[in-house]
Structure 1
């Protein structure tokens, strides 16, 4: 399970680096960089991205 999770996280980080490109999967989904990255360029935690941090 750890290897699979690592693969998913690495794919997400890679997608964030290319988010501004026209063919970016995240861009096609309508996800903007400021919705998943903080002001310092750090990826938010998955709980913050999913909106579960207030539960």
Structure 2
């Protein structure tokens, strides 16, 4: 049991020492953040457009 924990800890240390793994993790995080940001923009501009259409119909 204790040896398994040591092996996982060693693997975790190896992961963070490898710059390619860190770069891959950064790319994945940036991609996810970009997708979420685009969804947020689409939602905001969709609501703004709908509010403007409602105002035009009232006048």
TM-score band, normalised by the shorter chain? Answer: 0.3 to 0.5
Between structures 1 and 2, the one with greater helix share: 2
TM-score by length of 2: 0.36
RCO higher in 1 or 2 (8 Å CA, sep ≥ 6)? 1
TM-score by length of 1: 0.38
* Largest Rg, 1 or 2: 2
